[in-house]
Amino acid sequence: MAQMTMIQAITDALRTELRNDPNVLIFGEDVGVNGGVFRATEGLQQEFGEDRVFDTPLAESGIGGLAVGLSLQGFRPVPEIQFFGFVYEVMDSISGQLARMRYRSGGRYNAPVTIRSPFGGGVHTPEMHADSLEGLMAQQPGLKVVIPSTPYDAKGLLISAIRDNDPVIFLEHMKLYRSFRQEVPEGEYTIPLGKAEVKREGSDLSIITYGAMVHESIKAAEELEKEGFSVEVVDLRTVSPLDIDTIIASVEKTGRAIVVQEAQKSAGVAANVVAEINDRAILSLEAPVLRVAAPDTVFAFPEAESVWLPNVQDIIETSKKVLNF
Amino acid sequence: MASKTNKASLDAMKQLEKVEEQFQTIQILNEEGEVVNEAAMPELSDEQLQELMKRMVYTRILDQRSISLNRQGRLGFYAPTAGQEASQLASQFALEKEDFILPGYRDVPQMIWHGLPLSQAFLWSRGHLKGGDIPEGVNVISPQIIIGAQYVQAAGVALGMKKRGQKAVAITYTGDGGTSQGDFYEGINFAGAYKAPAIFIIQNNQFAISTPREKQTAAKTLAQKAVAAGIPGVVVDGMDPLAVYAAVREARERAVNGEGPTLIETMTYRYGPHTMAGDDPTRYRTSDLDNEWEKKDPLVRFRKFLEKKGIWNEEMENETIEKAKEDIKVAIKEADNTPKQKVTDLISIMYEELPQNLVEQNAIYKEKESK
Ligand SMILES: Cc1ncc(C[n+]2csc(CCOP(=O)(O)OP(=O)(O)O)c2C)c(N)n1
Ligand SMILES: [Mg+2]
């Protein structure tokens, strides 16, 4: 086993699948010689040739259309959108086309496409680079939306995503790319899509979260532990479709829950998680399910980013409201 | 059957070749600062020539200082401009105050020379709201991050000018990479269809981050894309301030006379990295290529030209450099003294009237900010 950052784990997953399946193709802006602006595809063009790993002209809509077309030719495209804030340029390919391929072809075709893209705040990017837009994707039936929080999960989930026969949006939080290392097995292993993981066990409160907020939530849980509260942290890992069983089992155990997301309150997937809990476990609840989210503005510019993004203190405060209800 | 198809395709190839032949790079001032195209010389007074030189020298210093301020953590996002001075500043120099600029992220210099205070350029770099709050009477909008969006919007601004009967143009900038976006084609096509007074500049600096120009398109030139939109297109030496000025001036004249938009490709080069956020040009460019382009430097050739005319000297150069340094010092201080961006400021500019969710959130963040 090797110690890897998330970005290394992602490169490793891509290399594994390029080796495994000759139909896997990687393309996007600057993914070739440059290895991607974050170096996620570092060395892959060298190893697998320009036929398998190639730069595209600068057009996200073109990248999306290319992926649709190549999948009709039996390829397994893994395009990169350089930053997920540019997804609006490729929305039709994603929501209008990929998500509807089975429907449009009466089941004749499927779209085994994995779109990878960095997103997420805390790294002082300019406008339109950091936004959490997973809610837009999750609201599109026909897509799977995956957001890993650790290097280990990133590799196993990405391999599953590439092998999946439906379109997957694979979102990589920029702050997690190089923030820590973890043991990551060499070679192939998979983590099933649609399965959450309890990242920390507890009995008084469930924090349901995903992406970079998993780490903030674990820190909050550790603080709350010092005050005598036992807090469970559930990492959704796939935000659509939701792993209802794991969410409900946790809430039935603790009787209290909050949902934490980096996206604005009216965006993201927290509202959907709360609704599912209310639908299925209302009688197990000792308190209302509250949310921690960013305010309903455009993503904050760098100077205000640290206040705008939900943080450990916000999570502790909301947890206490629910714990002391 | 087969031979017939063959013949038709040969004709099609010839047609393409003929079109491509038309797009030769226009130059007025060569690398030695000699006028090689007297007929195309724009009418510029000595004072105007000096002013254009001052702006290029000043902007080169601004670029150097911006890079070091960025390295000290005192600026945020910054896309270096050295090498592109002629392309950027001579095109802006051909405008009038009433013309409207829709820039890309690298085009801050044009905004400054069109009237944006330097301190606001710095605030924009830091992502401060005040950076985008352009003063009344300065006809620019803050730099576009979404590549191509400015092109379609320029068609709208230009059509608006036409509807209002204004004698003005909308000018917009993108890069060689930007010409691959759908918005690029839509922008030039819409403006052409409405005969709107727009000028579309492509600053072809040979790379889009790491991606070389050849990978963007099979087309020999980017300017020839104008043909499909039914508008005039020209390629100019983007290291030659006089060629850039002449092309833009002519396009402007056509536009205000109701003859519609023009697409101008300026052949240029960025000496520095793509942005200051970790780009490493040695991964995708050779130093030979860098050297080849640095020999074409716009400041060097314009300086030679002006010196030969006897209207530029070292003293003027140094005066300009000192002025730039002083202005930058004052502006960065002004930026530093501007109250820091707050979340409540962001909340307050979301709508004309705050909806209930934001009224509530405003109270919450006010409290947080008071701590
Ligand atoms: C819609 C969109 N896609 C991708 C990007 C990321 N990006 C920023 S600059 C750039 C390259 C642009 O190259 P070019 O148009 O040649 O302009 P230059 O930077 O060379 O001036 C890319 C891909 C973006 N900002 N917007
Ligand atoms: Mg370029």
So what CATH class is A1-182? alpha beta
Chain B contact probe: residue of A58, A91, A133, A266 with most B CBs at under 10 A: A58
Number of independent structural domains in chain B: 2
B265's enclosing H/E stretch is strand B262-267
Q: Are B358 and A295 in contact (CB under 8 A)?
A: yes
Percent of chain A residues topping a pLDDT of 70 = 100
Mean pLDDT for A86-104 is 98
Mean pLDDT of B25-49: 98
pLDDT at B1: 47
* Whether residue B162 is found in the same domain as residue B192: yes
Give the pLDDT confidence score for residue A301 in this predicted structure. 80
Asked if B109 and B241 sit in the same domain, the reply is yes
> At residue A69, does pLDDT exceed 90?
yes
Residue A180: Cβ-neighbour burial (10 angstroms; 0-12, 13-18, 19+): exposed
A195-322 maps to CATH 3.40.640.10: no
Q: Are residues B260 and B353 located together in one domain of the fold?
A: no
Please state whether beta strands B100-102 and B170-175 pair in parallel, antiparallel, or not at all (unpaired). Answer: parallel
Report DSSP state, residue B61: H
Q: Would the CB of B238 count as within 6 Å of ligand 1? A: no
Task: State if residue A149 touches ligand 1 by the CB under 6 angstroms criterion.
Answer: no
In a domain, B14, yes or no: no
Taking CB atoms and an 8 Å limit, are A58 and B208 in contact across chains?
yes
How distant, in Å, are the alpha carbons of B61, B282, B306 from that of B291? 20, 13, 24
B184 located within any domain:
yes
B355 and B212 in a single domain? The answer is no
Domain hosting B346: range is: 341-370
- Mean predicted confidence (pLDDT) in B209-220: 98
Over range B262-284, report the average pLDDT: 97
Instruction: Assign 3-class secondary structure to chain A.
Output: CEEECHHHHHHHHHHHHHHHCCCEEEEECCCCCCCCCCCCCCCHHHHHCCCCEEECCCCHHHHHHHHHHHHHCCCEEEEECCCHHHHHHHHHHHHHHHHHHHHHCCCCCCCCCEEEEEECCCCCCCCCCCCCCHHHHHCCCCCEEECCCCHHHHHHHHHHHHHCCCCEEEEEEHHHCCCCCEEECCCCCCCCCCCCEEEECCCCEEEEECCCHHHHHHHHHHHHHHCCCCEEEEECCEEECCCHHHHHHHHHHHCCEEEEEEEECCCCCHHHHHHHHHHHHHHHCCCCCEEEEECCCCCCCHHHHHHHCCCHHHHHHHHHHHHCC
Distance B204 CA to ligand 2 centre (A): 5
Let me know if residue B23 belongs to a domain. Answer: no
> At CB < 8 A and 24+ separation, what contacts does B317-320 make?
B317/B57, B320/B53, B320/B54, B320/B57, B320/B58, B320/B61
Q: Do residues A80 and A26 touch, judged by C-beta distance below 8 A?
A: yes
pLDDT in tens, B54-101: 999 999 999 999 999 999 999 999 999 999 999 999 999 999 999 999
pLDDT of A315 strictly over 50: yes
pLDDT digits (tens, 9 = 90+) for A133-155: 999 999 999 999 999 999 999 99
Suggest the residue from B207, B361, B362, B368 to mutate for an interface test with chain A (most A CBs closer than 10 A): B361
Is B244 in the same domain as B357? no
Ligand 1 atom with least separation from CA of B275: 19
Regarding whether B348 and B212 lie in a shared domain, the answer is no
Give domain status of residue B173, yes or no.
yes
CB-based contacts of A199-204 (< 8 A; 24+ apart in sequence) = A199/A149, A199/A233, A199/A234, A199/A235, A200/A231, A200/A232, A200/A233, A201/A232, A202/A229, A202/A230, A202/A231, A202/A232, A202/A233, A202/A254, A203/A230, A203/A232, A203/A253, A203/A254, A204/A229, A204/A230, A204/A231, A204/A254, A204/A256, A204/A323
| B167 & B279 share domain | yes
Q: Is residue B3 part of a domain?
A: no
Mean pLDDT of B37-46: 97
Q: Cα-Cα-Cα-Cα dihedral of B7, B11, B17, B18, to 10°? A: 160
Task: Give me the residues paired with residue A172 across strands.
Answer: A118
pTM of the entire predicted model: 0.97
Q: Angle, to 10 degrees, between the axis of helix A213-226 and the axis of helix A312-323?
A: 50
Give yes or no for residue B2 having a pLDDT over 60.
Answer: no
Of A88, A126, A307, nearest to B343 by CB-CB distance is A307
Q: Are residues B309 and B360 in the same domain?
A: no
Could you tell me if residue B30 is inside a domain? no
Q: Does ipTM top 0.90?
A: yes
Query: Does the distance separating the beta carbons of A58 and B216 come in below 8 Å?
Result: yes
Q: Which pLDDT score, from 0 to 100, does residue B124 have?
A: 96
Going from the Cα of A301 to the center of ligand 2, the distance in angstroms, rounded, reads 25
Q: What is the mean pLDDT of chain B?
A: 96
Question: What per-residue confidence (pLDDT) applies to B8?
Answer: 60
A299-314 pLDDT per residue, tens: 988 889 999 999 999 9
**Test site for ligand 1: of B144, B153, B209, most ligand atoms within 8 A of the Cβ:** B209
The pLDDT assigned to B6 comes to 58
Q: What is the pLDDT of residue B133?
A: 96
Distance CA B243, CA B42 (A): 8
Closest to B95 in 3D by CA, of B198, B226, B205: B198
B189 and B325 assigned to the same domain? yes
| Ligand (nearest to CA of B274) | 1
Which pLDDT score, from 0 to 100, does residue A302 have?
83
Q: Please give the positions of A annotated as active site.
A: 129
Cβ contact (<8 Å) for B345 and A304?
Answer: yes
Split at pLDDT 50, 70, 90, the class of A214 is very high
**pLDDT tens, B338-358?**
999 999 999 999 999 999 999
Residues B333 and B358 in one domain: no
Residue B25 lies in a domain: no
Tell me the per-residue pLDDT of B240-258, one tens digit each, with 9 for 90 and over: 999 999 999 999 999 999 9
A298 contact residues in B (CB cutoff 8 A)? 346, 350
pLDDT at B4 > cutoff 90: no
- CATH number of the domain within which B117 lies: 3.40.50.970
Task: Quote the percentage of chain B above a pLDDT of 70.
Answer: 98
In a domain, B76, yes or no: yes
Where does residue B259 fall: left (phi above 0), alpha (psi -120 to 50 degrees), or beta otherwise? Answer: alpha
Rg (CA), chain B: 22
Distance B369 CA to ligand 1 centre (A): 35
Calpha distance B143→A128 (Å, rounded): 12
Q: Are residues B137 and B281 in the same domain?
A: yes
pLDDT beyond 70 at B5: no
B362 and B286 share a domain? no
Write out the residue limits of the CATH 3.40.50.970 domain(s) in chain A: 1-182
A22 has a pLDDT exceeding 90? yes
